[in-house]
Amino acid sequence: MTAANTASKILIVGVGNTLLQDDGVGVRVIEALRAAAEEGFEIVDGGTLGLSLLPMVEDADAVIVVDASELGEPPGTLHIFYNEEIDRQLSGKRRTVHEVALSDLFSAAAIQGRCPARRAMVAIQPGCTEWGLETTEAVGAAIPEACAAIRALALRWRQGALHAA
């Protein structure tokens, strides 16, 4: 296994607004990963920071973003998008401001020629994005599944798997 096949610096970022129920699921997943004392990965609460995350993204070999995203599925449904699939998912379906920011973030890194070679977005279908501090039951139940998917993906990348799926 060569260094070119492994991802030595893996950034895991949760985005969302925790004041808007399911919109904050990305941040809730990050909190769960931190509580489990995940080591060996840079775990960041990206909240609604948007382009201010650019230096971290540019410095990473791989990035995994977790966010609420419109999937057209029942609340709590999880789907993982990779590389260009992320760009397609984020274009035209922007339910939240941070989905716009994610698209801009990856575009800015690409323009600089510093977009990570490996990108994934763990997307969770929200049920309710009204004011409230807790996720809905269905979306809250998806948090452990999202954590497991992120761990598995990050470990595969760390071990040099060329394809994430």
In single-letter form, the type of residue at position 33 comes to: L
The tokens of 78 are what?
Answer: 């999880």
Bridge-based pairing of strands 10-15 and 42-47 is parallel
Average pLDDT over the chain reads 88
Of the candidates 70, 43, 150, 63, which has an alpha carbon nearest to the alpha carbon of residue 109?
63
Name the 3-class secondary structure at 62: strand
Over residues 50-97, the pLDDT tens digits come to 889 999 999 999 999 999 999 999 999 999 999 999 988 887 655 555
Over residues 103-114, the pLDDT tens digits come to 888 989 999 999
Q: At what angle do helices 25-35 and 137-158 cross, to 10 degrees?
A: 60
Question: Does domain 3-158 bear CATH number 3.40.50.1450?
Answer: yes
The ranges assigned to domains in the chain are 3-158
Worst-scoring range by mean pLDDT, 24-33, 34-43, 50-59?
Answer: 34-43
- In the block, which residue shows the tokens 């323009």? 111
Q: How far apart are CA 129 and CA 142, in angstroms?
A: 16
Q: How far apart are CA 79 and CA 73, in angstroms?
A: 10
| pLDDT over 90, % of the chain | 70
Q: How far apart are CA 14 and CA 160, in angstroms?
A: 23
